[in-house]
Amino acid sequence: MPIQQTSRTVFRVEARVILEGLRIAWEKGYRQLEIECDNTLLVESVLMGSAASSNLVELRLINVYLKRNLNTRICHIPRSQNMPANRIAKCTYKNL
């Protein structure tokens, strides 16, 4: 698989993880969240509001959840601090 295609797939998997976390939090009644992500582009897309008009369904749905009555903080963290999540993402990617 070409590098560009792999990057898009990883981006989508990471967006799905955030979306799934938001969905679960909403269903469980949590309204105050802190989301940490090591993907700078994903964090910027969500924070700058470009998620609302994205071609990526996951980004648009993230935007929908964030417009609900949620007190959410999204921040970028270094990849070195996110190793367990990276391992899970790699396993998920291999199973797609």
Stated as kind and residue range, the H or E segment containing 75 is strand 71-76
Q: How far apart are CA 43 and CA 35, in angstroms?
A: 9
Considering the entire predicted model, what is its pTM?
Answer: 0.75
- How does DSSP classify residue 55? S
Query: What pLDDT is stored for residue 49 in this prediction?
Result: 76
Query: What pLDDT is stored for residue 2 in this prediction?
Result: 52
Query: What pLDDT is stored for residue 84 in this prediction?
Result: 75
CA distances from 82 to 4, 35, 39, 72, 90 (A): 22, 12, 10, 19, 13
Give yes or no for a contact between 40 and 1, defined as CB atoms under 8 angstroms apart: no
Q: How far apart are CA 49 and CA 47, in angstroms?
A: 6
Query: What pLDDT is stored for residue 25 in this prediction?
Result: 94
Residues of the chain with pLDDT under 70: 1-7, 51-52, 86, 89, 92-96
Q: How far apart are CA 31 and CA 7, in angstroms?
A: 31
